[in-house]
Structure 1
């Protein structure tokens, strides 16, 4: 059972990393990633022994994060895939990791935006132009910010504080 629980919990960082990479190279986060996170959460939570009320609190946070993500999407601050990934990550992390998730995601988003401004500058853009097409697209002035990368960084940083990781420690 311990191996199954660990395997199920590993779905979370694996899909987050796939989402970040897809967002960086294509500015899209496929729906299957967020749906996969949503579908994998209940068996992972049950496998590590989270009580049903705690699972309900995780779900409540996921819904709250989805509403916040939809508002940010409506304001054109985030893409739709980013909003769904943000909600799916919040579902997995729960309330105990929510503050660190939000804080690190904001800091990573700011660092990402500053990095993109730098490579989109008149001085650095010519150096990037000989790179792969996805890097050229990132360096294109006026392009979007692949915020899925920041969401991934924030979620991975907050993961140790989540009940899922604490549950794995208890099983070990």
Structure 2
């Protein structure tokens, strides 16, 4: 008989993806409201990745190495963008934390989705900025696009059984 508190890999996967979704939605809120993505949220996302690997059967040395390499490449790539003022530090850390979760192909797709969504977020926030007739340049919460792209990839795990 299975104890009600025991979780199999599938249940744990759903729980982890649900937790990721909550963290990403909270990141959207804080980025829109304060233009900040809190370090404790990105750290939580990053630290939950190994549990996700274990739940999905990807907790072996070659795959762990690939996840770490992918996240490192993503971090360095977006750190360069940060250095040139194209994005904030929280955005860089959120991208890297999410890169720990997925296979590198999914990470490439996530970056592509974030780019497209980022253009839409930029248009919306520039329009809001102009409508409010605010001075200076519009501050774009690019973390919104990153989090939405992460939700998109995570959602495919739940709603699309063909990936």
> Residues of 2 paired with 1:15 and 1:71: CA distance?
25
Q: In 2, Cα distance between the equivalents of 1:125 and 1:154?
A: 28
What's the counterpart of residue 40 of structure 1?
Answer: 48
Answer yes or no: is 1:125 the counterpart of 2:132.
yes
Aligned match of 1:159: 154
Choose which of 43, 66, 69 in structure 2 pairs with 1:57.
Answer: 66
Give the Cα separation in 1 of the matches to 2:154 and 2:103: 10
1:1-150 pair list within 5 angstroms: 1=8, 2-52=10-60, 53-121=62-130, 124-125=131-132, 141-150=136-145
Normalised by the length of structure 2, the TM-score is 0.83
Bigger fraction of residues in helix: 1
| Bigger relative contact order (CA 8 A; separation at least 6) | 1
Q: CA RMSD in A?
A: 2.3
Decide whether aligned partners of structure 1 residues 27 and 17 sit closer, same or farther in structure 2, where only a CA change above 3 A counts: same
Distance 1:91 1:140, change over 3 A: farther
Cα distance in 2, alignment partners of residues 107 and 5 from structure 1:
28
Question: TM-score by structure 1 length?
Answer: 0.79
Q: Deviations over 1:13-69 (max 9, x none)?
A: 221111111000000111001100111111121122114122321221111111112
How many residues end up aligned between the 2 structures? 152
1:140 CA displacement: 6.0
Assess, with a 3 A threshold, how the Cα gap between structure 1 residues 141 and 79 changes in structure 2: closer, same or farther.
Answer: same
For structure 1, the 5+ residue unaligned runs are 127-138
